[in-house]
């Protein structure tokens, strides 16, 4: 099994466990580190049966990202729409701008905790695993110069009578901030309270736990792949 699965699973349980059980939520999926080498930057999400095709469907996009800057600027751009349902371009684009995200400064403990798990690793090896831009952000976090970013956005879609819905979601690009995890929560009816706040943020200790789960899982996957 792909070792990145373990990182994704660990992050999911840290952040989103139980979300599908909430009223109105139909399905939840994640995209993990979409812009690093060999990563998948798009997913197809099949919405379970039972959707009312004549009523709007909502999608909550949640982002966890890191940056090499303590005062980051930049954005992550996502294209997301239902297959076969006409959607205007401005309605399919989701833009996470750093100015609208919750920013937590690094405390510099990420590298120490990862080292305790996998030992000392060279910058060259880590760059190969993470990619140049993600590694730069990781290294800055360890110097207490980087930052963690979190936020969410809500989009409403109209099925136009289509009963079988597949949401096609693709991470198009990023600059200034690097996406670690994008969670897509799809539902119908009332939006649960925890998703209504676009400034939705995580406690710093949970953020660090998420990063450890991600980097550790990614590192194990890379070593096993060799």
What's the whole-number mean pLDDT along residues 13-40?
A: 75
Q: Which residues pair with 131 in a beta bridge?
A: none
Higher pLDDT, 147 or 221: 147
pTM: 0.84
pLDDT for 101 equals 93
- Asked if the model's pLDDT at residue 204 lies above 70, the reply is no
Q: What is the 3-state secondary structure (H, E, C) of 64-81?
A: EEEECCCCCCCEEEEEEE
CA nearest neighbour of 36 among 166, 121, 133, 156: 133
Per-residue model confidence as pLDDT tens digits over 48-83: 988 999 999 999 999 989 999 999 999 999 999 999
The number of domains in the chain is 1
What's the whole-number mean pLDDT along residues 172-187?
A: 94
* Two tokens, residue 153: 């956005």
Helices (H), the chain: 4-15, 89-92, 110-118, 123-130, 132-142, 193-196, 204-225
Burial code (b: 16+ CB inside 10 Å, e: under 16) for 21-40 equals: ebeebbbbbbbbbbbbeeee
Query: Residue 189 in contact with residue 24, Cβ under 8 Å?
Result: yes
- Asked if the model's pLDDT at residue 95 lies above 70, the reply is yes
Query: Residue 172 in contact with residue 96, Cβ under 8 Å?
Result: no
Q: Give the domain range for residue 178.
A: 4-225
The span from the CA of 199 to the CA of 102, in Å, is 6
Lowest pLDDT segment from 16-20, 104-108, 140-144: 16-20
If you ran DSSP here, which 8-state letter would residue 37 be given? T
Q: Share the mean pLDDT of the chain.
A: 82
- Sheet of 75-82: strands edge to edge? 42-46, 166-175, 75-82, 93-97
The span from the CA of 208 to the CA of 113, in Å, is 9
């Amino acid at each position: 099994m792909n070792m990145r699965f373990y990182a994704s699973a660990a992050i999911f349980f840290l952040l989103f466990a139980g979300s599908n059980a909430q009223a109105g939520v139909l399905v939840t999926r994640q995209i993990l580190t979409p812009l690093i080498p060999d990563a998948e930057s798009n997913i197809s999400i099949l919405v379970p049966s039972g959707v009312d095709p004549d009523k709007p469907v909502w999608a909550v996009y949640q982002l966890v990202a890191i940056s090499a800057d303590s005062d980051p600027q930049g954005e992550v751009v996502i294209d997301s729409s239902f297959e076969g349902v006409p959607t205007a371009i401005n309605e399919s684009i989701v833009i996470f701008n750093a100015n609208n995200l919750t920013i937590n400064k690094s405390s510099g403990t990420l590298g120490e905790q990862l080292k305790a798990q996998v030992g000392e690793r060279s910058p060259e090896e880590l760059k190969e695993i993470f990619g140049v831009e993600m590694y730069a952000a990781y290294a800055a976090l360890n110097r207490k110069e980087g930052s963690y970013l979190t936020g969410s956005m809500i989009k409403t879609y109209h099925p136009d009578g289509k009963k079988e819905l597949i949401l096609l979601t693709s991470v198009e690009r990023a600059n200034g901030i690097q996406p670690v995890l994008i969670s897509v929560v799809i539902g119908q009816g009332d939006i649960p309270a925890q998703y209504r706040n676009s400034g939705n943020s995580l406690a710093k200790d949970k953020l660090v736990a998420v990063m450890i789960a991600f980097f550790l899982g990614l590192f194990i996957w890379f070593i096993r792949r060799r």
